[in-house]
Structure 1
Amino acid sequence: MNEVGKNLRIGFFLLLFVIAGMMMPFFSSAQSDSAVHFIPVEQTVERGLEAFLDRSIDEATQAGADHIVLEIDTPGGAVDAAGNIANIIQNTEVPITAYVTGEATSAGAYIALNADNIVMDPNATMGSAAVVDGSGEAADEKAHQAWVSNMESAAQSSEHDRDPEYARAMTDPEEPLSMYAEEALDVDYAETLVTDRDEVLAFLGLEDAEQVDSEVSLAEQLARWMTNPMIIPILLTVGGVGLIMELFSPGFGLPGIVGLGSLGLFFFGHLFAGFAGMEAIILLVLGLIFIGLEVVFTGFGIFGLLGLASIVGSIFMASFDTTQILLSVFIAMVIMSVAAVLLFKYFGRIGFMQKLVLSDGVSTTAETTETGEREELVGQIGRSLTPLRPAGLMTMSGENFDVVTEGRFVEAGNDVKVISVSGSRIVVRAVDGNSKQQESGTS
């Protein structure tokens, strides 16, 4: 019995030994199964980049990354976007290292200072972080001091407790400090110099870690471009000019397609970046419906005004910065006004522009009668020579007149009645079917 028990014990231990041997590869792989996520921070710092970093850092965290490396090469950009990115970095539990591969200028320097570590390529630079306003001039004293405070706090927030004097010097509006990699290393603004990712991993003690790349998708690239503060006024201007031209041109053509396309790009970028909600899209669609009603049924009237108001409202709802969108809308409105004057005053009747804007529908040599104060025209009935949207030409008793309707659209060839005359302004109204039959002989 004792011999049997002894054999059982030996067999049990042998079984445990075999099981342990079989499990060793799993333990070994688990211990070496580390991953470092490399995320690019490139081009201009703006809200599109913020959305990309938010998504990439969240995915790295969810995947159980051991470390995150931000590969920074940026000339800087928007202060508000840099501040939001800094908050994302600070609220991430996974340690983050800033790897400056090219330049970390302005907002890029601020992002780097918020990381747990900074490593730099020997040819990289960091600094030159003076804050400027939208026109490129030095920001006012209040904004400047707030930015200086942010830079100093970022320098001192990490465990390295960097000297804030250098961060302050980077924000000097007259001669901002920019440091080469060796200089940054000397003043402890960089922990080490590296030439490639392998050296970054060696510095982190993760030589065997898997390297995971976070790539910017095509949609994110488009979103970054569409949310660029320099591109937004262009999109709004092209969209506005296209819709205005469509209001005064028959049918639906190239201006409307271009206008809708530009607005569509604006909203796509802001929707994908997470700035526009469904309420903004609903308001946009409502505005386009009003514009469509205006084009089909009337001249520039209540539907047109409601449509433009709805579209402008949706633009503000989709924006991420009220000040920025106000500036963009203002720029767009100024350019739209100038473009409208040039298009309709100088180019409306020549070349291919005749297909884009309203044409008289009669020979350009046709003469119109000078009306003066001809009160006797009131009550008379003529016929529209061109569509009245609301302005156009009317013929009456062998004479042609420039007229305008009360606001409703009137097709060419319809009978119209003169309602009032004020100087050279003749206001007409479409007559009903009975009036057409009774007084058609006067046209």
Structure 2
Amino acid sequence: MNKFMKLTSLMIIFFSIISANAYGQRVYEFSVKDEIGPGAWYITKSAYTKARAADAQYLLMELNTFGGAVNFADSIRTLLLNTDMKTIVYINNNAASAGALISLATDHIFMHSGASLGAATVVDGSGEVLPEKYQSYMRGLMRATAEAKGRNARMAEAFVDPSISVPSLKEDGKLLTLTASESVKAGLADAEVKSTEQIYEKLGITNPEITVHQTTLVDRIIGFLINPLVSGFLIMGIIGGIYMELQTPGLGFAGVLAVICGGLFFAPLYLQGLADHWEILIFVIGVILMALEVFVIPGFGVAGILGIILMLCGLAFSMVANDFLDFQLSKPGLLMDAFLVVVGAMVLSIILIVIFGKNVLRSPAFRKLVLADEQLAEGGYTSSVPKLNLINQIGVAKTVLRPSGKIEIEGNWYEAVAMDGFIDLGEKVCVIKHENYTLFVRKYIEPTAIA
């Protein structure tokens, strides 16, 4: 009787395992069909999070890419290597360069008929091959990834290094790129298939519970905003808005533009886990120091320089994954690239403002955003005392005018704009004209006595 009970228990356990492995397996599917960049990383991380929440056993990525940024490809690779879910990539139709690295990080590679895999040399934005240190780093990534999944490390390295000989698959001196059938024969891919249904059949998964990742409008907006090109334009808007705001008294359109661009720049990076509270804080402190330098502290010294440095660091650090200055760099020079993007955007925004700033302020489109009409006394307006009697009056600069600031005439303070561009604290000024309740002044030159 005891033997019968033990046999029955073993059979129940055996069939339970078979049933668990064959039926009701939860699969989470998502697609990456674009350049490997911040958008692809955001989709992958979002899909992974939702797959974990759904307690999925399998994570399937349908991949079709010609490559992209190494740092984002490495982030995806690391996520796939570290998960306890079974990972599958369905290459339909290309997995070149960064796509090859991602594919090698999965547990199972399936390729659509006519698909290709390989060619992973590191190049710059113009397609030029980067120096050896970048190629060496990429070879190491490919080798380590293949070894982690029990694949041929030398063959993976041949995707990057044309000097590696693989006689049956490529000519010497050429990069390795494999077709679907060649990948299967070489042992890199599991099988050549025509659909995800065939993948599940090959893996012995019957009646899988499939959840397909849905990309929301918010996901698409975030993916668009974290594009490096868009981030560059947002930085230009931030710097340009702050620069123009510091040149004019009061809070105006330029200040609102800077705030909007700052929100659009930091918000998606914060949601991605790149921008942290302290990075946003040092940027804000930098802006405050710049404002103090312009409106409060005479001259240009420590506060202004420190403000510029903090603004640069806040923007650049937000673009690179780090744990309070412990940078998780996935390729050499990544932090320097972030600083180059920020500095380039800053310089370009200032150049554009200097060249086109006055024309923009005078354009019909901009004038619609500001109050252009004068509220004259003849029209019944008395909310402001006319300053026409101040023209040709002599005053003293009570703050540095760069070009805006404050002056004092006969004990009264007024907002003023220097027509010479810069007037230092304490210098005498002469009122030249008055527009929209703002005085325009020049440095006062004492008349020379004639002998």
Q: Is the TM value for this pair above 0.5?
A: yes
Cα distance in 1 between the residues matched to 2:358 and 2:79: 52
Taking the TM superposition and a 5 Å limit, the aligned residue runs for 1:251-266 are: 251-266=250-265
Percentage of matched positions with identical amino acids: 25
Q: Secondary structure of the residue that 1:330 maps to in structure 2?
A: helix
Taking the TM superposition and a 5 Å limit, the aligned residue runs for 1:55-70 are: 55-70=46-61
Q: Secondary structure of the residue that 2:32 maps to in structure 1?
A: strand
Which AA in structure 2 matches 1:229? P
1:102 corresponding residue in structure 2: 93
Q: Which moved more, 1:332-341 or 1:296-305?
A: 296-305
Cα distance in 2 between the residues matched to 1:86 and 1:29: 28
1:39 corresponding residue in structure 2: 30
Among residues 318, 323, 327, which one is paired with 2:340 in the alignment? Answer: 327
1:371 corresponding residue in structure 2: none
Among residues 152, 159, 164, which one is paired with 1:162 in the alignment? Answer: 152
1:89 corresponding residue in structure 2: 80
Q: Structure 2 vs 1, CA of residues 381 and 104 (structure 1 numbering), >3 Å: closer, same or farther?
A: same
Q: Which moved more, 1:149-158 or 1:268-277?
A: 149-158
Cα distance in 1 between the residues matched to 2:344 and 2:401: 27
Among residues 89, 108, 112, which one is paired with 2:103 in the alignment? Answer: 112
Which AA in structure 1 matches 2:92? T
Give the superposition deviation at 1:208. Answer: 0.7
Which AA in structure 1 matches 2:115? A
Give the superposition deviation at 1:414. Answer: 6.8
2:210 corresponding residue in structure 1: 211
1:377 corresponding residue in structure 2: none
Cα distance in 2 between the residues matched to 1:356 and 1:407: 32
1:437 corresponding residue in structure 2: none
Which AA in structure 2 matches 1:40? S
- In angstroms, what is the RMSD of aligned CA positions? 4.4
Cα distance in 1 between the residues matched to 2:242 and 2:40: 30
Give the superposition deviation at 1:141. Answer: 0.7
Q: Secondary structure of the residue that 2:130 maps to in structure 1?
A: coil
1:434 corresponding residue in structure 2: none
TM-score, length-scaled by structure 1: 0.69
Give the superposition deviation at 1:266. Answer: 1.1
* Structure 2: runs of 5+ lacking an equivalent: 1-14, 164-172, 321-333, 375-391, 410-417, 447-451
Q: Secondary structure of the residue that 2:264 maps to in structure 1?
A: helix
Between structure 1 and structure 2, the one with the greater Rg is 1
Whether the 8 Å CA contact 1:47–1:273 is kept in 2: the answer is no
1:339 corresponding residue in structure 2: 352
Task: Check if 1:312 corresponds to 2:330.
Answer: no
Q: Secondary structure of the residue that 2:47 maps to in structure 1?
A: helix
1:405 corresponding residue in structure 2: 423
Cα distance in 1 between the residues matched to 2:52 and 2:119: 32
Which AA in structure 2 matches 1:56? A
Cα distance in 2 between the residues matched to 1:84 and 1:124: 24
2:266 corresponding residue in structure 1: 267
Give the superposition deviation at 1:144. Answer: 0.6
Q: Which moved more, 1:174-183 or 1:257-266?
A: 174-183
1:374 corresponding residue in structure 2: none
Give the superposition deviation at 1:300. Answer: 9.3
Give the superposition deviation at 1:413. Answer: 7.1
Taking the TM superposition and a 5 Å limit, the aligned residue runs for 1:413-428 are: none
Q: Secondary structure of the residue that 2:83 maps to in structure 1?
A: coil
* Structure 1: runs of 5+ lacking an equivalent: 1-23, 362-379, 422-443
Which AA in structure 1 matches 2:204? G
1:390 corresponding residue in structure 2: 402
Q: Secondary structure of the residue that 2:229 maps to in structure 1?
A: coil
Whether the 8 Å CA contact 2:36–2:69 is kept in 1: the answer is yes
Aligned pairs, number: 370
Q: Structure 2 vs 1, CA of residues 334 and 177 (structure 1 numbering), >3 Å: closer, same or farther?
A: farther
Give the superposition deviation at 1:281. Answer: 2.8
Whether the 8 Å CA contact 2:64–2:94 is kept in 1: the answer is yes
Give the superposition deviation at 1:406. Answer: 2.0
Q: Structure 2 vs 1, CA of residues 176 and 260 (structure 1 numbering), >3 Å: closer, same or farther?
A: farther
Whether the 8 Å CA contact 2:96–2:119 is kept in 1: the answer is yes
Taking the TM superposition and a 5 Å limit, the aligned residue runs for 1:174-213 are: 175-213=174-212
Q: Structure 2 vs 1, CA of residues 299 and 259 (structure 1 numbering), >3 Å: closer, same or farther?
A: farther
Give the superposition deviation at 1:77. Answer: 1.7
